[in-house]
Amino acid sequence: METKQQVSEMDIAHLKAIRNSVDTFIRESAEKFDSAGKMMLDIAPQDWLGAAQFFSQSTIETLDIDPKATATYIADLTEDNSAKIQPGRFDIVLCTEVLEHVLQPFDAVKEIHRILKPGGVALITTPYNFRIHGPLPDCWRFTEHGLRALFSKGFEIKELVAVETEDRFLMPIHYRLVAQKL
């Protein structure tokens, strides 16, 4: 007998909260960091508008692992992409809802560090209290402590915000992080 899988009301509510949090984070980040002459990399924005809906002055390039994507760079964020992207190319790297999907998150953060200019900012979001989702693989859930460990080398964390789950102490739905390259 086949059972029909149904998305729970909690997951629907959490997805709405995550999307709202990501949009708020990008909008607020644009207010702080968007300006003419800045280079921005938006990582894996293929399924939504990403940075383009809020960053109107910066030059935006994109990166995606999917060879069918229309990204500026088709590349694996967990690898050294020196042949495609020079070190220190970007003032801003936006990486929303991606780190949970990479097999080597420390390598991904190392590559973000490599492509950022000194003083550049990494704008990161990642879910915590949310179901396994695509694109697969969905490998990780990072706590505040995990994010601090990921960004402990070569970065200063400027902001780390937990979007809390109502009625669940220490079980945030989502995290938003701003880290500056030293």
Kindly state the average pLDDT of the residues 52-62: 95
What CATH number is associated with residue 168? Answer: 3.40.50.150
**Residue 122 β-bridge partners:** 93, 179
Domain total in the chain? 1
Tell the residue number behind the tokens 């936006």, with chain if given.
94
Surface-to-core class of residue 74, CB atoms within 10 Å of its CB (0-12 exposed, 13-18 middle, 19+ buried):
middle
11 within a domain of the structure (yes/no)? no
Residue 8, domain member (yes or no): no
Distance, in Å, from the CA atom of 42 to the CA atom of 54, rounded to the nearest integer, reads 12
Range of the structural domain that residue 63 is part of: 34-181
> Average pLDDT, whole number, for the chain?
93
Each residue's pLDDT tens digit, 79-124: 999 999 999 999 999 999 999 999 999 999 999 999 999 999 999 9
pLDDT exceeds cutoff 90 at 163: yes
> What type of residue is 172?
P
Q: What pLDDT digit, counting tens, does each position of 137-150 carry?
A: 999 999 999 999 99
Strands 90-96 and 39-43: parallel
Q: Let me know if residue 58 belongs to a domain.
A: yes
Count of other CB atoms within 10 angstroms of residue 26: 24
Q: Confirm whether 113 is domain-assigned.
A: yes
User: Would you say residue 40 lies in a domain?
Assistant: yes
| Domain contains 26 | no
The answer to the question of residue 43 being in a domain is: yes
The bridge status of strand 90-96 relative to strand 73-74 is unpaired
Question: What pLDDT is recorded for position 181?
Answer: 98
Q: What is the dihedral of CA 176, 42, 148, 168, to 10 degrees?
A: 30
Does residue 144 lie within any of the structural domains?
yes
